[in-house]
A = this chain, B = another copy of it.
Amino acid sequence: MKPRLKHVADHAGVSQATVSRVLNDRPGVAEPTRLAVLQALSQLGYEHGRLRPARRTGLVGLIVPELDNPVFPRFAQALESRLAREGLTTVLCTSTPAGMGEADYLEVLQDHAVTGIVLISGEHADTTADHQRYHDLRAGGLPLVLVNGRDEDLGDIAAVTVDHAEVTRLAVAHLASLGHRRIGLALGPSRYVTAARLRLGYLDGMARAGLVVDPALMTDTIYGIEGGHAAGAALLPLGVTAVVCASDRMALGVIRAAREQGLEVPADLSVMGFDDAGPNNFMDPPLTSVQQPFESMGSAIVQLLTAQITDAGAATPELTFRPELVVRSSTGPAAETAAPSETDTGTDDVTTASEPGTRTG
């Protein structure tokens, strides 16, 4: 990051000469103006007195909903090193039900004059949440990037997301190519835009594979192993031969539910996860999943953030990243379906998708 007098001047709303006078402790600058310049320097990540990146003063708040799901530590790790190279220090905040909420952390971070904020899978993706505070943050000029799910009313705020519809499209195409027709879907709470996008991709994938959709096979539950277990217990009696899950931990719960009923994975049931952040290749069985491109997304998040830091009026597109199918051993050829009520009247000629972007892990 090279010194940029102009950016500081623009940010503070003063001339470059004024910035220079403040930096050199010259007289002739009114106190409010001097403070505005110092604030601009701080917000832009420069230390007063030497116009170079202030490795030790620029803070970026990273708010995640939990750390149990390895997807969040993985994002944090991808962001931390990249932000450090920009002279920015990451402070990771976990908004838990038992502790501080997202709104609490946003206030704390503002109190500490952070240079910017990154929100991953937060209330910005919750269609029932009040989003006024995000608009207030942007109006106040605080650089902000929303990750994985931006509700429609936040269209003017920078966002980075994996293509959730593509996640389930890839998953259904993979399962259909293995002969599965009754494919269950285990989603998180429906109030999140991500759940809607995953459902859309599932429906699209089923249509492309020429499969009839049974609405009973699309279940909303909670994230985590317990949610997956509940979804598995609900879906198995409906004769599914495969289940697509909205997270790897949900997939572990479905596998547990299947084994409790004496079923084997993948012989009797294929199970797919999503995220692929943890050691899925060491699971029993190694878990087929759809991976978020953490490193590319991390780079984009940092770019969108630093663009806003150097130019408060920077454009704020939503950048969408393509996920990748990682085939391991929790999916296999469809078992003979034992559906108690066979409602699938679709063609028997299952489309064998070409599955671009597939790799084995």
Contact = CB atoms under 8 A, between A and B. Distances in A.
A314 interface: no
A309 B345 CA distance: 69
Interface stretch (A85-93, A133-141, A334-342): A85-93
Given A55-B104, A59-B112, A84-B99, A252 B92 contact: no
Pick the 4 closest A-B CB pairs, nearest first: A284-B284, A84-B99, A67-B73, A92-B92
Interface string A320-348: 00000000000000000000000000000
Nearest to A76: B67
A93 B89 contact: yes
A73 B65 CA distance: 12
Given A56-B111, A252-B279, A282-B284, 13 more contacts: A67-B73, A67-B77, A68-B77, A70-B73, A76-B94, A80-B94, A81-B96, A89-B104, A90-B99, A92-B92, A112-B112, A252-B282, A284-B284
Interface residues of A, number: 46
Contacts of A70: 70, 73, 278
30 contacts: A56-B104, A56-B108, A56-B111, A57-B108, A59-B112, A66-B77, A67-B67, A67-B73, A67-B77, A70-B70, A70-B73, A70-B278, A73-B73, A80-B94, A80-B96, A80-B99, A80-B100, A81-B96, A83-B99, A84-B100, A85-B99, A89-B105, A90-B94, A91-B91, A92-B92, A112-B112, A256-B282, A282-B283, A282-B284, A283-B283
Contact of A93 (B91, B225, B286): B91
Contacts of A225: 279
Q: Give this chain's copy count.
A: 2
B92 A91 contact: yes
- Which of A81, A108, A282, A283 has most chain B Cβ within 10 Å? A282
A98 interface: yes
A285 interface: yes
Nearest to A285: B284
A86 to B, nearest CB: 11
Contacts of A67: 67, 73-74, 76-77
A256 B278 CA distance: 16
Nearest to A82: B99
Contacts of A74: 67
Nearest to A70: B70
Contacts of A252: 279, 282
Contact of A89 (B77, B108, B283): B108
Interface in A102-125: 104-105, 107-108, 111-112
Contact of A284 (B80, B85, B286): B286
- Which of A66, A67, A107, A278 has most chain B Cβ within 10 Å? A67
